[in-house]
Chains A and B, each alone.
Chain A
Amino acid sequence: MVRLENVGKRYGADAEILHDVSLTLDSGGFYFLTGVSGAGKTTLLKIIYLAETPSRGVVTLFDTDASTADRVTHNSMRRRIGIVFQDFRLVDHLSVRDNVALPLRIAGAPEREIRENVPELLGWMGLEDKLDFRPATLSGGEQQRVAIARAIVRRPDLLIADEPTGNVDDEIAMLLVRVFERINRLGTTVLIATHDVAFARQFSHRRYHLDRGALSTAGEDAEVA
């Protein structure tokens, strides 16, 4: 599903942020990407969800070489990816319902389908009474659930979550991972980035570890479940 080969990334003349990163995410897999702040996790995720282009190396997404794909293909590939941003990136002027409906509208889904599926999903996320609220009026936890709902509403092939457990207590963090596991069981490949290695170790999922831009692919930081 996702294959990175010798990917490097630098901005201008600055030092390289990622060095020779190679990783493979198989279809239906569940992965953690760990590493301290500044290790390059977000940059790596951005390369995977096509917000950044690597300075070198090859990125293959859904069996397509991203470097040779055109703009339209990039956008088509992005529609197969659900992203939970670290800062949620909810659209302030849209209601919770319309925020979650965004990926469906972008994909050209019929309004009837949107009217049926969005409230149902938000109900599943415990937000059935917040449909017409603006994101700014919600708590941080509620905003995060809206962000997750937006990421999964189209049943993406790949779900990427950047530090979803960063600002919540352990109990909520555990609950969130259980939600991602349920999504994973529906066939979605899941990649969760977290700085908390200890937290990731509680789960029997494959882990990649980034240390100053270098990815550990074997040994204790890349245990296979």
Chain B
Amino acid sequence: MIAALHFHLPQRLRLDLPLRRDASGRFLPWIIALMVYLAAMGGVGLIWLGDTLRQWDASLASALTLQVPPDISQPRLDMMLGALRQTKGIVSARVLQADETAKLLEPWLGKSVAVSDLPLPHLIDVQIDPSATIDYAALHQQLDTIVPGAQLDNDRHWLVTVREFALRVEGVITAGVLVVTVLIVAIIIFAARIGLAIHRSVIELLHLLGAQDAYIARQFQVHALTLGLRGGVIGAAAAALTIVILGPAGHALELPVPIATYGILDWRVWLLLIAAALAAGGVAMVTARIIVLRQLARMP
């Protein structure tokens, strides 16, 4: 029965060379699994970083806060609001009510403190058009002439710094993924060369029977694809498990990003894991084909 099943294997999947018995078949999937795991986790990190940046970007790009000293008169406050509303790019400006200010401070001061008794500055919530370019230096200067000591909390410069840092982190993660790819290529080259050396006599026989190089290379390709996919699936599964385990931690920390909120249910995570597993198989297959064809070309 087993023999019959073997005999009916599709020709493209049949191996004349006993590659499945090679020692590489035992350790390669685990090494590839580790590589895929690292790459997948790096990819998840990129998604998280991207989500976080977008979140910050959206919140900081469309709003800014103005702090005005508490002893300012109402006419000056109105003048300041008027100046803000006339500035091109500013959609709206309004003074936060005392209860809104209290709510903002509640995490730090608690509910028991009577916020109204404190000499808190007036907070002006300014909504801006994210697409508009505002000259913040000029605006600040103008507001300072109306109310000396008014502070414009523009977090954009901070966002630029964070973005630069995030870009560096992205670069490091991308470099890590590239290193992982290079390592997979290197171990497949190593395994293919060993395979060619071990099975040289059978390869020579196949040549003498008229086998084209592509026929022999296909056997290595199929074998490498199998090992790569096996390693890829193991690595992706381990990464999925890690995300599932880390998911509750994300919830607990209330990280305001989709990857932390949805975790393994985020479709991008699935896409990433499937792509990582398939890429491992693909890289292994293509590498084996190229290296085997090159080596076979040197044989008689």
Contacts and interface: CB of A to CB of B under 8 A. Distances in A.
Interface of A: 49-53, 71-72, 75-81, 83, 89, 91, 93-95, 97-98, 102-103, 105-108, 111, 115, 132, 150
Contact of A105 (B14, B201, B207): B14
B190 interface: no
Nearest to A111: B11
B18 A106 contact: no
A106 B300 contact: no
B3 A75 contact: no
B8 A107 contact: no
Contacts of A115: 7
Nearest to A77: B210
B87 interface: no
A118 to B, nearest CB: 9
B3 A102 contact: no
B257 to A, nearest CB: 53
Given A95-B3, A106-B215, A79 B16 contact: no
Contact of B297 (A53, A71, A80, A103): A71
Interface residues of B, number: 22
Interface of B is mostly: helix
B57 to A, nearest CB: 57
B210 A103 contact: yes
A93 B21 contact: yes
A96 to B, nearest CB: 11
A75 B16 contact: no
A72 B202 CA distance: 19
A71 B213 contact: yes
Given A71-B297, A106-B215, A111-B8, A94 B210 contact: no
Q: Which 10 A-B residue pairs are closest in the complex by CB-CB distance?
A: A79-B210, A78-B210, A93-B18, A106-B211, A132-B3, A75-B212, A75-B210, A103-B209, A89-B205, A106-B209
Interface string B1-23: 00100011001001010100100
B147 interface: no
B21 A78 contact: no
B208 interface: yes
A75 B211 contact: yes
A78 B209 contact: yes
Given A72-B212, A83-B208, A103-B210, 11 more contacts: A75-B210, A75-B211, A76-B210, A89-B205, A91-B202, A93-B18, A106-B206, A106-B209, A106-B210, A111-B8, A132-B3
A91 B8 CA distance: 19
Nearest to A97: B7
Nearest to B201: A89
Given A71-B297, A93-B21, A105-B16, A79 B209 contact: yes
A115 B11 CA distance: 12
A86 to B, nearest CB: 13
21 contacts: A50-B208, A75-B207, A75-B210, A75-B211, A75-B212, A76-B210, A78-B209, A89-B205, A91-B16, A93-B21, A102-B16, A102-B209, A105-B14, A105-B16, A106-B210, A106-B215, A107-B210, A108-B11, A111-B8, A115-B7, A132-B3
